[in-house]
Amino acid sequence: MKKIIILIPVFNDWDSLKKVMEEINENVKEFKDINFECLVINDASTIDRPKLIKPNHISTFKIINMKMNKGHARCNAFGIRYVFQNNEFDNLILMDGDGEDRPVEIKNLLNAVNEKPDISVVAKRIKRSEGLFFQLLYQVHKLITIIFTGKKINFGNYSILTKKDVEKIYSEASLWSSFSGTIKKNIKKLNEINSIRGLRYFGPSKMSLFKLLIHSFSIIAVFKYQVFLRSTFMIIALSYLNIYLGNFSILLQILIIIFNLLIFMASLRENENNLINSHKNLRDIEAITH
């Protein structure tokens, strides 16, 4: 029987997780020929966990408790590495536990990967639920990413990966900083489904403007060499255009240099040693049996 592991990082969002698990259970029940397991990475939550019940269509439900809070991206990185090294599986589903990755779309991911079992599938965002300001910033981020890297990255963590593709990324230093950037760089062929970003089930969004900028720069930093190369050509081109653009040309060159410095700083978040040793932050593993 085919085995699929669902990986969900959580920090204090226990009420959301309970609802997410209920909806996952409802949406996987029709896939009788698949054995589903769920691993929740508890990123050192400061709120006591309520009683959780194992969904009847999930064969194994475990909570992996971490000693120190490392953040969403690094929880995912640890989880991907842990799953590959400690579990037998055919596919790995990554999703958030707050409701923004809508459990109803798991069906679409599963159907897509069943049609082409050798190709991983990502959830392409076609509609977002944030306010207009954050949506505008997201469009600016996509445009800057295309200009400086040549890559169109319109997906987040929500995806279903083949074991072969998990093997390609589980030791990549960039995984410690950016999942989507690492996927785009290392996996050449991806299928996609259309996805609507949902609303958090409980509480306000934890994505501040500062965190959004760090997230954006971390994705672009995965392609830092392309960024530096393209920036060099831009600066040279602007030097020739200085006769027409005057001080505006100089201003653009300064902004490009500052942008490259920020990308370099973001690239320092990539740490292969921390990724390889991430298991040392594991405190214990709890099995939810009923």
What are the domain boundaries of the chain? 2-126+154-203+282-287, 224-265
Hey, what CATH topology would domain 2-126+154-203+282-287 get? Spore Coat Polysaccharide Biosynthesis Protein SpsA; Chain A (3.90.550)
pLDDT per residue as tens digits for the range 13-46: 999 999 999 999 999 999 999 999 999 999 999 9
> Which pLDDT band, with edges at 50, 70 and 90, does 200 fall under?
confident
Q: Can you tell me the mean pLDDT for 119-141?
A: 84
Three-state DSSP class for 178?
coil
Structure token pair of residue 145: 């990413």
Distance CA 213, CA 65 (A): 28
Output the average pLDDT for the chain: 94
Is residue 7 within 8 A of residue 39, CB to CB? The reply is yes
Percent of the chain predicted with pLDDT > 70: 98
Query: Would you call 222 exposed, middle or buried from its count of C-beta atoms within 10 A (0-12, 13-18, 19+)?
Result: buried
Distance CA 260, CA 139 (A): 20
Examine the pLDDT at 175 and tell me if it is beyond 70: yes
> Which pLDDT band, with edges at 50, 70 and 90, does 95 fall under?
very high
Distance CA 263, CA 47 (A): 34
| CA-to-CA dists, residue 66 to 59, 233, 256, 280, angstroms | 23, 45, 39, 9
Rounded to the nearest 5°, which phi and psi values hold at 19?
Answer: -70, -40
Is residue 270 within 8 A of residue 221, CB to CB? The reply is yes
> Which pLDDT band, with edges at 50, 70 and 90, does 86 fall under?
very high
> Which pLDDT band, with edges at 50, 70 and 90, does 267 fall under?
very high
